[in-house]
Structure 1
Amino acid sequence: WLKEKGFTVEAIPYAEIAKQEGLLRCSTLPLERE
């Protein structure tokens, strides 16, 4: 639904990130910060 609202969405193959012990949170930025 982000594409429908005009956002650019980049698909990331998380199978490779998991091999390096990466986490979803490490590869994304919060939309809102304090």
Structure 2
Amino acid sequence: MSCSTFEEFHGNALIKNFVNLIKQTYLIAERIEE
């Protein structure tokens, strides 16, 4: 396993976590507005 592969995997994991956080925030905001 090369370092570049590990960095790419780690980066993708961070991006997925960031996207999930945005989705959760958006859903919570929708509930508050209703």
TM-score between both structures, scaled by the size of structure 2: 0.22
Higher helix share: 2
Q: Which has the higher contact order (CA 8 A, sep 6+)?
A: 1
- Give TM-score, length-normalised by structure 1: 0.22
Higher-Rg structure is: 2
